[in-house]
Structure 1
Amino acid sequence: MLPVASERKVFHENFLDHFKKNKVRIAMAVTKLFPFPEVLRDHSFITEKLYNETCDGSLPEALFGRVHLKEYPDLTQIYRSFENGK
């Protein structure tokens, strides 16, 4: 029987491999930003610093990028409200 640390390492390696193979499907399944990053932060999968840095301007760029506006047409109106400051 493997020691607990070795079992954990094997589990994490298998999980990471499975995650890599399914990351696009996972991203497509997350159709709302809230509460996804909050859960990642709350479970320490991302740091508080990384969580806070997603609000530095890169989040709006990623959220309202051309691909997302095409895939999620409802974002267009929200994007325009940001542009208009309303």
Structure 2
Amino acid sequence: MSSFWYMKCCRRASSKALVTYFKENKVEIASAITKPFPFLMSLRDRGFISEQKYKLFQERCENLVPVNRVMYDVLSDLEKMFGQPLLRVMFSPTNLK
């Protein structure tokens, strides 16, 4: 097998492992997000969630749905578009404060 194909297979395998890890740890990630700002805004501003979804999630937080529950739902929506660009936004220095 050429090194190109080997590297491509390794990337694909590690990408699948990362998606699996993300799915298995959504509760922990959601629990670490204690406020909708700046997390939701950064997702909206970069096109990961629509303005409509943003408003829905904000409204749920304002209506006293626990923030970690709302964030779990956000993460569930984001599962479909999981990748490095999303990871960069989720784990940016601003969102990790």
| Percent of residue pairs identical | 30
Listed as ranges, the gaps of 5+ residues in structure 1 are: 72-86
Other-structure match for 2:28: 25
Which of residues 11, 24, 40 in structure 2 aligns to 1:8? 11
Q: CA deviation at 1:31?
A: 0.6
Q: Aligned-residue CA RMSD in angstroms? A: 3.1
Equivalent in the alignment of 1:60: 58
**Distance in 2 (alpha carbons) for counterparts of 1:9 and 1:31:** 32
User: If you compute each CA radius of gyration, which structure gives the higher value, 1 or 2?
Assistant: 1
**Separation in 2 of the partners of 1:23 and 1:30?**
11
Structure 1 ranges of 4+ moved more than 6 A: none
Q: Where does the alignment leave 5 or more consecutive residues of structure 2 unmatched?
A: 70-97
Q: CA deviation at 1:35?
A: 2.2
Deviation at 1:62, TM superposition (A): 2.5
CA spacing shift, 1:10–1:49, aligned 2, 3 Å: closer
Structure with more contact order per residue of length (Cα contacts < 8 Å, sep ≥ 6): 2
TM-score by length of 2: 0.48
Contact 2:36/2:58 (CA < 8 Å) preserved in 1?
no
Deviations 1:40-76 (A, max 9, x none): 567xxxx616243323x4123321344418x9xxxxx
Cα distance in 1 between the residues matched to 2:9 and 2:60: 38
